[in-house]
Amino acid sequence: MIQALFDGVLVGSVLSLGAIGLTLVMHILRFANFSHAELLTIGAYAALTFDAFFSVLAPPLAAGIGPLSMTLALIAAMVLAMGVTALSAIVIDRLIFRRLRQQAGPLTMVFASFGVALIVRNLISLGFGLHTQRYTDEIAFAVVVSTDPFLLVKPDQVVVLVLALSAMAALYLLLTRTTLGFALRAVAENPELAQVNGVSLPATVRLTWIIGGVLAAAAGVLFAIDSQLSPVMGRDLVLSLFAAAIVGGLGSVTGAMLGGMIVGLASSFALLVMPAGYKPAIPFLIILATLYIRPHGLFGEAR
Amino acid sequence: MTETAALLSVDGLVAGYRPGLPIVQDLSIRLDAGEIVTIIGPNGAGKSTVIKAIAGLVRIEAGRIRIGGQDMTGTRPDRLAQLGVAYVPQTANVFTTLTIGENLALAARRCQANAAERVIAMTDLFPVLAEKRSVRASGLSGGQRQLLAIAMALIAEPSVMLMDEPTAGLAPKAAEEVMTLVRQIAADGVGILLVEQNARLALRLSDRAYILADGRNQHEGPAATLLDDPLVGEIYLGGRRKGAA
């Protein structure tokens, strides 16, 4: 039970990171972006590339840190991958979504996002191959933290959890303690009023993509550290991200954090009572239950 | 002798929400510092569209908007806000998901260096906002929301204030308080362009007025003259022609 709880929180924290970006984009840019999960893939593969570069250019960085399988090279690569993913998000917006925002409705943008997802997924497959990859072939042995109840934890998982929670805390502080955060929340609520109060809409849109991209890259890398990289990891995660955003309530960052945890925990606990093959159905069930019981989610506002 | 440039001048404005479907047609307005000018007219005349166009929120198809003689046509709303044009919408005029303090801090971003001082100045001016600083704006009454919206507009010390029906939905006492406040703001030298459904109340408050119908100027003149004009009274102020049954 305690093992399922830990695993659920771990997966949930990573899902929360991805869901926060998704919910921000959905609320501020007012469309369901089905290509958001591909930003996780971009981030994960960008980190793989930079990690390889650093490992060649500065071999000392490629040594493991204590009991961790991750290296300083990977941490530096993750930081650069955040930048690359944020830039990718802005470029995709410039090339596709911005034009559609000016000329078409939200439904067109949703369809376009499916197209973007396909393009990104296939470009990554072309560049990196269809096979799964890992950041390191080092085996990180799990440590028995407790025997009764039994709890097995890999040191990497602790780092993943700490990094994910730190990123969420930083974003929460940005949104609730800075005028930049107030501006983001203001644009999400009423873009016209925000503009007449001096908030630049183009700058806010850019900032939204940057935050979404940075968090998606972090989520992608942290997910791949605990699991593995695959060109279809975005496709596999998209439903869970949407479930997290919907449970939390569209537009609510706090909701996305909690939604991610709920989806992660539900998927983890489901393994205790049903075969693993049914696990992908859990986000579906969560979305259905939320839409039936509380359509605006836990923290979303009823419209 | 050259004429002094108006604080705000609108010449031959054609504007609307969709290309080729203008709501405002060939409209001209002049507003000077410290002046209160009202736009009145029937529902659908395009009154709100006029001030939204001046605030940069509606697309302008033709005409010129000048602030202090400088051409500002087509300038983005956030730039106009930074250049001293404040706009108070009729509805949804505060951010209900933000606290009062956050609303004021957001509006004060335009002030840059003295943002904190301006927030304090506004809470001193409106003590009710200071008391409820950490309350979400959704928890305010209609009158308090209007005060917050005006405070957000005033915080950057604007030269032009555009107000869309500031008394709409307010109790008579609250409406009277808002109008008193409008008078005080104008007395401090701010030019106020007002759209008001309550035409009699607005004309009593204003220096001059424009009467709009079908998106065009129909009449203009000193507010007192328009208030006493029987034709204007009959058509726009709910009056009756002498001798009518």
Burial class (CB in 10 A: 0-12, 13-18, 19+), A220: buried
pLDDT in tens, B39-87: 988 888 889 999 999 999 999 999 999 999 899 999 999 999 999 999 9
pLDDT in tens, B176-227: 888 889 999 999 999 999 998 788 888 888 999 998 888 788 788 899 888 8
Half-sphere exposure (Cβ direction) of A100: Cα atoms closer than 13 Å: 19
Burial class (CB in 10 A: 0-12, 13-18, 19+), A107: exposed
Mark A10-41 as b/e (b = at least 16 C-beta within 10 Å). Answer: bbbbbbbbbbbbbbbbbbbbebbbbbbbbbbb
Residue of A nearest to B154 (CA): A197
- In three-state secondary structure terms, B198 is coil
Residue A44's pLDDT band, with cuts at 50, 70 and 90, is very high
pLDDT in tens, A180-231: 999 999 998 899 999 999 999 999 999 999 999 999 999 999 999 888 999 9
CB-based contact, B122 to chain A, within 8 Å: no
Residue B154's pLDDT band, with cuts at 50, 70 and 90, is very high
Torsion of CA B217, B221, B224, B226, to 10 degrees: -40
Output the six-digit token pair for A251. Answer: 């537009």
User: Which of B157, B138, B156 lies closest to B100, judged by CA?
Assistant: B138
In angstroms, the CA A160 to CA A179 distance is: 29
Query: What number is the average pLDDT over the span A74-93?
Result: 96
In angstroms, the CA B184 to CA B37 distance is: 14
What is the structure's pLDDT at A299? 81
Query: What average pLDDT does the structure give for chain B?
Result: 88
**Contacts (Cβ under 8 Å, ≥6 apart) of A163:** A218, A222
What is the structure's pLDDT at B238? 60
Residue B143's pLDDT band, with cuts at 50, 70 and 90, is confident
Interface probe for A, chosen from B72, B76, B78, B83 (most Cβ of A below 10 Å), is B78
What is the structure's pLDDT at B241? 42
pLDDT over 90 percentage in chain A? 52
A193 and B92 within 8 Å at the Cβ level: the answer is yes
Query: What average pLDDT does the structure give for chain A?
Result: 89
Q: Which of A183, A185, A198 sits opposite B97 (nearest CB)?
A: A185
Residue of A nearest to B162 (CA): A196
Residue A105's pLDDT band, with cuts at 50, 70 and 90, is confident
User: Which of A41, A24, A73 lies closest to A207, judged by CA?
Assistant: A24
Please work out, in degrees rounded to the nearest 5, the angle formed at the alpha carbon of residue A9 by the alpha carbons of A217 and A162.
Answer: 55
Output the six-digit token pair for A240. Answer: 């869970």
Query: What number is the average pLDDT over the span A270-289?
Result: 86
Residue B242's pLDDT band, with cuts at 50, 70 and 90, is very low
Report the 3 state secondary structure along B119-181.
HHHHHHHCHHHHHCCCCEHHHCCHHHHHHHHHHHHHCCCCCEEEEECCCCCCCHHHHHHHHHH
- Of A32-36, A202-206, B141-145, B241-245, the range with the lowest mean pLDDT is B241-245
In angstroms, the CA A216 to CA A207 distance is: 14
Are the beta carbons of B123 and B103 closer than 8 angstroms?
no
CB-based contact, B132 to chain A, within 8 Å: no
Query: What number is the average pLDDT over the span A242-271?
Result: 88
45-74 in B: which are within 8 Å (CB) of A? Answer: 55-57
Instruction: Residue B163: list chain A partners with CB under 8 A.
Output: none
What is the structure's pLDDT at B93? 92
Tokens 């979400």 sit at which residue?
B136
B78 and A198 within 8 Å at the Cβ level: the answer is yes
Q: Which of B82, B92, B93 sits opposite A198 (nearest CB)?
A: B82
Q: Which of B55, B81, B92 sits opposite A190 (nearest CB)?
A: B92
The gap between the terminal CA atoms of chain B, to the nearest Å, is: 53
Interface probe for A, chosen from B93, B106, B136 (most Cβ of A below 10 Å), is B106
CB-based contact, A199 to chain B, within 8 Å: yes
More confident: B192 or B229: B192
User: Which of B185, B9, B210 lies closest to B86, judged by CA?
Assistant: B185
pLDDT over 70 percentage in chain A? 97
Instruction: Residue B105: list chain A partners with CB under 8 A.
Output: 179, 182
What is the structure's pLDDT at B151? 95
125-184 in A: which are within 8 Å (CB) of B? Answer: 179, 182-183
Residue of B nearest to A300 (CA): B97
Report the 3 state secondary structure along B41-57.
CCCCCCHHHHHHHHCCC
Output the six-digit token pair for A209. Answer: 């993509």
